[in-house]
Amino acid sequence: MKTASAERFSSPLWRDPGLAAAALSEMETLAGKASALTGGTVNFMEVCGTHTMAIAASGMRKLFPKTLRMLSGPGCPVCVTSQGDIDRVLALAEVPGVILATFGDMMKVKGSKGLDLHAMRERGTDVRVVYSPLDAVALAEAEPSRQVIFVGVGFETTAPVIAGAVARARKAGLKNFSSTAFFKLVPPALELLLSDPENRIHGFMLPGHVSAIIGLKPYAFVAEKRRVPCVVTGFEPLDILAGVNMLLRQVVSGKPAVEDEYFRAVRAEGNPAARRLMDEVFAVGPASWRAIGTVPGTGLGFSKAYERFDAVKRFGIKYKEAPEPKGCRCGQILLGKALPPDCPLFGKACTPSSAVGPCMVSSEGACAAWFKYGG
Amino acid sequence: MAAFTKVLLGHGSGGRLSRELVEQVFLKSFSNPALAPLEDAAELKLGGARLAFTTDSYVVTPVEFPGADIGRVAVCGTVNDLAVKGARPAALSAGFILEEGFPADLLGRITASMRAAAREAGVSVVTGDTKVVEKGKADGVFINTSGVGLIPAGRRLTSAAVKPGDAVVVSGNLADHGVAVMNARNRLGLEGGIKSDAAPLNRMIAAALKVPGVRAMRDITRGGFATVLNEVSGACGLTAEVEERAVPVAPATANACALLGLDPMYVANEGKIALFCAPEAAGRVLKALRSDKYGRNAAVVGRMVKEKKPQVRLKTAIGGSRIMLMLEGEQLPRIC
């Protein structure tokens, strides 16, 4: 972490109270005009779980105009992973002799039999939390007699890094490394949301991290065909306030566009090197979304050239549809149709220590954010 | 019967699950008036004198990390647990559980580091114990230290004594220790020279206690500042209201936390206290803390208020507010 760039991304300036007050006062005026046009509440969706957490952690919701509502979208990697895919991860952990390496966030998601990776680790399966998929490759090198499986989930943010790890494993000739590829793509997710006639989304706050990889062009259809405003936004409090105001201005002007608030990190063309790596190792295919189901062309699986690194194929794990936990409204929350307090289980039967649904389990889930920070 | 069937890693996090373990298992067996307040050290009356008595076990990987090592932490942690009860640390014990094959030179470095920390604190290790277990039955070295200290007559420091209007003070930058250890353990390669803050704070604390009006102090270790605030709020029945902008965190540590998805309010420290004092005493307490090298960045960060439903509330930098709960389980780095 170089000090100069760190300053640029996390300086106290991004939390300056004077600038925040100015942005909020402008927001009040803009939201008034925008709500007159939408005929009531203005609904924006933050697609990314990191935004959900940042909004809650800064206590921003209470400062927003009453006519503005931020809905959480399908952008938390753990939350969107279908119950069937979670079950496949747990099944992989049970293959005799394997080491399952995963990001920490996946540890507490329950399979349909009610077990999570924590519980499986207590029962003696070898599950290790790693900070980078490259650590899992190193693990495979250090333990040549064991099969190491990395749990690959997430969006365009994590996919290139995991692609890099798989490419390295191939270069090193490792026969004992494999990964799952349960990746989801953000632009098709937006299309899924908008194709629902019941959707009430007036604008998308788009994820800064994902956009740093894919750039701005893949979102063009949202503004042009669907006529819905889009702003790629950073994660500091002032980024989010500025992003909301840019969205409101688009609503007021009636000219939807794809704008970039996070231009200090996101370039219009994205990161071509990362995309090349991702395109080499993975290929667009179907993905299984929680609450939505399996939809063609909305995710990434292994490309032909890298098929032999597919853990699911290597160990012959089948996909089986599994029902959502009973009473859980994670599905509606992910689609922006409900807020966490609308769920009858929220804060009662479902808390972070005994979570029913993934939105409460994941540190980036909407329910966890509402519970932890009080909305 | 406890509500859980097996001990989880989260039961050692210092947060809510640790509390559950203590309440459902240990308090059930050991319940007594000296233990009941569950503070950093127990208070005992012995032949007219009042003693503070505490014990703590230390397990950390790696055993050496920037700024400190397991030995320094083992001495400082116990010294600080005595000091926050207002006691003058008198003597320590040290018990070692060693794994077969542990390098002798590393053990020598650890004990030298313990001697240096003890000397700085003005205490001696007066009794000890050693066990060696088979390779694979322990992780290198585990250290347990206990300590006793004398509480001067008339001094009573306890979370239950905190009053409405009291100032909340922290003695310096938060989260350095936890981030330094995580950086070393996982070879994260974070720059910025983040070092553990492990330090014996008894001299700094003695200086602060010269100011009348100090009601309680807490050693901020595992579970972080947020967990300590929740415990104190629970003990005195008051809301703790903290200003985010006033809480000192070094820029490199703040950046590292942002990168890893950690909240500095929940990250462990080994050389920081939270102090609660009468509002009129805050200025002098701050001056006393800052005059010590371990308290240079001390700051008043909030106040205690009476409310129907006591909670811990953070007033955020941009003017919002949110609650801060106890640490739930382990802090896990995020996916993206």
Q: What is the CATH number of the domain that holds A313?
A: 3.40.50.11740
Per-residue pLDDT, B309: 94
Residue B329 and residue A158: Cβ atoms within 8 Å? no
Q: Does B309 touch chain A (CB under 8 A)?
A: no
**Interchain pair B252, A237: CB under 8 A:** no
Task: State the DSSP H helix or E strand holding residue B273, giving kind and residue range, or none if neither.
Answer: strand B273-277
Residues of chain A with pLDDT under 50: 1-9
Question: What does the pLDDT read at residue A1?
Answer: 36
Question: Structure tokens of A142?
Answer: 């250090």
Which pLDDT belongs to residue B14? 77
Cβ contact (<8 Å) for B318 and A60? yes
A96–B contact, CB cutoff 8 A:
no
Q: Which residues of B touch A7 (CB under 8 A)?
A: 251
CATH code for the domain in which residue B318 is found: 3.90.650.10
Say how many Å lie between the first and final Cα of chain A, rounded: 32
* CA nearest neighbour of B80 among B69, B92, B98: B92
Instruction: Please check whether residue B292 is in contact with residue B210, taking contact to mean a CB–CB distance below 8 angstroms.
Output: no
Give the nearest chain A residue to B263 (CA atoms): A57
CA–CA distances in Å: residue B242 to residues A238, B223, B302, B315, B318: 21, 17, 4, 6, 13
Do B320 and A58 make contact, defined as CB atoms within 8 angstroms? yes
Do the beta carbons of residue A86 and residue A323 sit within 8 Å?
no
Question: Which residues of chain B carry a pLDDT beneath 70?
Answer: 1-2, 329-336
Which residues span the domain enclosing A366? 48-375
What is the pLDDT, as a whole number, of residue A4?
43
Residues 6+ apart with CB under 8 A from A18: none
Let me know whether B235 and B134 are in one domain: no
Indicate whether B166 and B140 sit together in one domain.
Answer: no
What single string gives the DSSP state of each residue in A113-128?
TS--HHHHHHTT-EEE
CB pairs under 8 A between A and B: 123
- Kindly state whether A5 is in contact with chain B, defined as any CB-CB distance less than 8 angstroms: no
Number of domain units in chain B:
2
Kindly state whether residue B35 falls inside one of the protein's structural domains: no
Taking only the tens place, the pLDDT of each residue in A294-329 is 999 999 999 999 999 999 999 999 998 888 778 888
Amino acid sitting at position B8:
L
Residue A2: the pLDDT is 38
**d(Cα A103, Cα A109) in Å, to the nearest integer?**
12
Q: Kindly report the nearest CA distance between residue A17 and chain B, in angstroms.
A: 5
Query: How many domains, in total, are found in chain A?
Result: 1
Burial of A263 (0-12, 13-18, 19+ CB in 10 A): exposed
Residue A112: the pLDDT is 87
Q: Do A62 and B252 touch (CB under 8 A)?
A: no
Min distance B7 CA to chain A CA atoms (Å): 9
Q: Which residue of B has its CA nearest to A18?
A: B318
DSSP element (H, E) containing B80: helix B70-83
The amino acid at residue A131 is Y
pLDDT at B1: 53
Q: Are residues B132 and B164 in the same domain?
A: no
Of B107, B130, B151, the residue at which a domain comes to its end is: B151
B108: containing domain: 40-151
A91 phi and psi, to 5 degrees? -65, -40
B8–A122: do the CB atoms touch at under 8 Å?
yes
B335 to A158: CB separation less than 8 angstroms, yes or no: yes
Q: Give the other-Cβ count within 10 Å of A61's Cβ.
A: 18
Which residues, other chains included, contact B255 with Cβ-Cβ below 8 Å and sequence gap of 6+?
A1, A6, A9, A10, B192
Rounded distance between C-alpha atoms, residue A374 and residue B16, angstroms? 17
Residues 283-322 of A with CB under 8 A from B: none
ω into residue A144 within 30 of 0, thus cis? no
Q: CB–CB of B318 and A373 under 8 A?
A: no
Do B178 and B305 fall within a single domain?
Answer: yes
Q: Does A192 touch chain B (CB under 8 A)?
A: no
